[in-house]
Chains A and B, each alone.
Chain A
Amino acid sequence: MFKQKLFLSLFSAVIMFALKYPAYPQVTPEIQLGARGVMSFNVDRASGETASAVNDFSDSGPLVGFRQKLYNNFRGQLVIGFQFPDADSDLGQLFFHQVFLKIEDQSNILKMGRSRVRTALIEFPTLRDDDALHFTDVLNPFSAGENSEDNQYGNVLEGTHIFGQRYWLRLHGEHFTETPTAPGAAETDFSLNAIGLSFAYRVPASQRWNRPILDQVGISFNNFLTNRPGDFSEFEQALKNIIVSTVVNVKPNPMHFLDVRHQTIYNVGFGEFTELNEYADLARTKAIGTFTSLRYLYRSLERPTMQLALSFGYKTFPDLANATEQFQVVANGFYRLGENFDVGLQFQYQKFNGDLRGILGSNEARIQFALIYSIDQLWNNQFDDRDSLLNLEHGYIP
């Protein structure tokens, strides 16, 4: 044990020395450190049974980025981050959700690695990213549904071209995690199992005080390359989804800001899935899901003070023999205690009809009291972001 400790200490010392005194001058990268802590006390009542969790810290974790200028006006970036997933997620104690490299210039982005898959066009004001996952994301048809990360993260290869600062055309290919694997076995096939294309109009965040009413509108086509049983062509084997989204700033007032977010996901589905026997069928039968949020943000003295949001979700499965529907309501409020430090309260209620009752139960209610802290710090800052005010309004500097 002593030898191990001694070895580790010496090894660490050598690494620290090497980092501090590199053999020759190197480009010093920008170093970005992000971290988010979401701690909540939960009380659940699902299908008549009550449970509570003293501390749910899922979705918490750090994110580290390194970025430097390349030749010919390009920039290169490495991002590594991990999260503490849900205790019952089968992902272990840590899940590396972001491990990717990116190169970009003013209007092109190439990204490779583990990252957020493009199963949603916009984000919604919920406590955690996956609080309304069945409505906000296209579900992964290869997943057994043990965790939400299967739907949100995957191995991605994507290229983006930006026209006129606001029009984003993106072509993306992914490997979505396939579960379950055989007991004790790890996933070994990481081939492409999804491709997609999206087009979106987005007002950059730095333009928020220029009174844009229409903030975002987008459309996306996602195709999962499944092994659909039966005699089908490759095109027919692809499970197709269409996402349409809009964000409208109803009242773009800095003090009393009000916006509406809406996203509809149409899963074309496979016609032979007329009943839900297991979780994976949820993603393979035809479905139309829609989610809408109304958000009010109060900013006092140029700093966010309070946010209230009310969201509704509705989903229907037209091909199922039993009429099956899913509803969700999420109401939450956050109050800012300090810079990026919030206290929040969230209530959500879900109701399931038809075949869904066999998989998800009849209903679920959850109340969460949460503390949230996030940081985003930059060291060795050397260049500006694409969407900064200076770069957008006063000429782009590579």
Chain B
Amino acid sequence: MKRREFLATSAALTAAGLLPGTLLSEAVKQENEKKFPKPLEFQMVGDTKEFELFIDIAQQEPVPEFEFHTLSFNNQIPGPEIRVNRGDKVRVKFKNKTELNHTIHWHGLHVPWRMDGVPYVTQMPVMSQQEFVYEFVAEPYGTHFYHCHWGTLLHMQSGMFGSIIIEEPKDDPIKKKFPYEREYTLIYSAHDTNFIRGELNYMLDRMKERMYLMKNGRFDKERFATFDTKEQFLEAIKNGYSPPYTINRRAPSELPQPQWFTVNGKSYPMTPTLYINEGENIRVRLINAGQLEHSLHLHGHDFWLVCDDGLPVPQPWQQNTARLSPGKTLDIIIEGKNRGIWTFHDHDTSRVTNNGLYPGGTLMALVYEDMPPEEAELDMMAKKMGLKSLPIVALDE
């Protein structure tokens, strides 16, 4: 069998598992639900909602047959979703199960500054096997996220992010304007898997050495490349200390070049599907936890942009392409007004690729689940190819 024929066959086989006949089945929908962040259970301790998070090393599989080592909260990528009400007292008990350092930064939340999770500014890093307890009052309302703030360039593209949603259960400003029942959280990220692999190995090796020295009382702050003041840093350089970014040490020649793009940890064709019915409004919470900007375009619809960085915008406005910058969250309302199967994707099409090959990445679909089957019928050509109905997952080059 020639390579191209083999690819065509494999594409057809993949498609067989995702045919619309089954796409609208309960089993497939239940499977799709697993592609969204799972709510994190909490315990009421007095008047405080207490959550538990841990970090460990895991393997991420954005698509079948491609895995890479990464970090994860509670063995989930993205981490579990924390949902609280505005004004709730929140306690997050955080355990670091890795041999690396970490913190948690609550992105967009008005936490006390000592809870902000910035190493050496608001707290010391949470070292291996250590615990740290974050406490804050949930403010402000809206879609936010948490992420590690240690080695941010590496750790954020290594699965260390999750959503935190602060609700107004009785008086949601968006629900008032756009009544909805269903909502979805989509967290975007971009990964240079070669950078992640190299850096994780290097940092694990370095931290093993440091932990050995710590146990033997031979560790000092210069080894940690940490200084009390800038003057101390300059003095250390005079005495022979060579910073890692200098070209006679280990400075890498290039910044990370992401070649995998994920939504909720998955790349097309494994990205989640957004279901909608005619006449229904759905709320989609978009979070960019990666380092690249995404230009998210929905076919066949103009959605309402209702929140920016979690904050309700004074006057929602319609658009069909949303610019999701790094660190930003946007909430959109999609009105079910145009029955069909519609593509929702990054219009920077370099991010609609897997390892450099189109299609892939952040490509996903909005599916009307009340669509009559006859509307999804295929044309003669597709039938001749042995396909049955739309949407087809095609991976041929």
Contacts and interface: CB of A to CB of B under 8 A. Distances in A.
A and B from one assembly?
yes
Nearest to A205: B205
B216 to A, nearest CB: 7
B69 A254 contact: no
B201 interface: yes
Interface string A44-65: 0000000000000000000000
Contacts of A381: 194, 197-198
A162 to B, nearest CB: 19
Contact of A339 (B206, B248, B397): B248
Interface in B200-234: 200-201, 204-206, 208-209, 211-213, 216, 218, 222-223
Interface in B241-264: 241-242, 248-250
Contacts of B241: 301
A390 B223 contact: no
A341 B4 CA distance: 48
Contact of B223 (A209, A301, A395): A301
Given A384-B197, A390-B200, A394-B57, A211 B249 contact: no
A389 B223 contact: no
Contact of A389 (B194, B204, B216, B222): B204
Given A394-B59, A397-B67, A389 B212 contact: no
A397 B209 contact: no
A389 B67 CA distance: 16
Size category of the B interface is: 20 to 34
B201 A302 contact: no
A390 B197 contact: yes
A302 B206 contact: yes
A339 B249 contact: yes
Given A339-B249, A390-B69, A397-B67, A209 B59 contact: no
The secondary structure that dominates the B interface is mixed
Nearest to A384: B197
Contact of B205 (A338, A382, A389): A389
A45 B198 CA distance: 48
A398 to B, nearest CB: 9
Contacts of B208: 209-210, 389
B209 A389 contact: no
A9 interface: no
A209 B128 CA distance: 15
Given A210-B208, A381-B198, A397 B249 contact: no
Interface in A367-398: 381-382, 384, 388-390, 393-395, 397
Contacts, number: 61
A301 B204 contact: no
Given A255-B218, A390-B57, A390-B200, A302 B248 contact: no
A67 to B, nearest CB: 14
Contacts of A302: 206, 209, 223
Contacts of B317: none
A388 B242 CA distance: 27
B68 interface: yes
A209 B209 contact: yes
A253 interface: yes
A66 to B, nearest CB: 17
Interface in A114-143: none
A322 interface: no
Contacts of B213: 254-255
A206 interface: yes
Contact of A390 (B204, B206, B209, B397): B204
A74 to B, nearest CB: 14
Given A254-B209, A255-B213, A339-B249, A395 B201 contact: no
A395 B248 contact: no
Given A209-B208, A254-B213, A381-B194, A397 B223 contact: no
Interface in A227-286: 253-255
A394 B69 contact: yes
A25 B355 CA distance: 14
B73 to A, nearest CB: 16
A395 B57 CA distance: 10
Given A209-B208, A338-B248, A390-B201, A397 B59 contact: yes
Interface string B6-24: 0000000000000000000
Interface in B324-350: none
Interface in A320-374: 338-339
Contact of A388 (B67, B201, B218, B223): B201
A118 B397 CA distance: 46
Given A254-B212, A255-B218, A384 B201 contact: yes
B202 to A, nearest CB: 9
Contacts of A253: 212, 216, 218
Nearest to A378: B198
A371 B194 CA distance: 33
A375 to B, nearest CB: 14
A209 B205 contact: yes
B337 to A, nearest CB: 42
Given A206-B205, A389-B205, A397-B67, A301 B212 contact: no
Nearest to A301: B223
Interface in A265-320: 301-302
Given A206-B201, A301-B222, A384-B69, 9 more contacts: A209-B209, A253-B218, A302-B223, A381-B197, A382-B194, A390-B200, A390-B201, A393-B57, A397-B69
7 contacts: A209-B205, A253-B216, A253-B218, A302-B223, A338-B248, A384-B201, A390-B200
Interface of A: 25, 206, 209-211, 253-255, 301-302, 338-339, 381-382, 384, 388-390, 393-395, 397
6 pairs of A and B residues whose beta carbons are closest in the complex: A209-B208, A390-B69, A389-B204, A254-B209, A394-B57, A209-B209
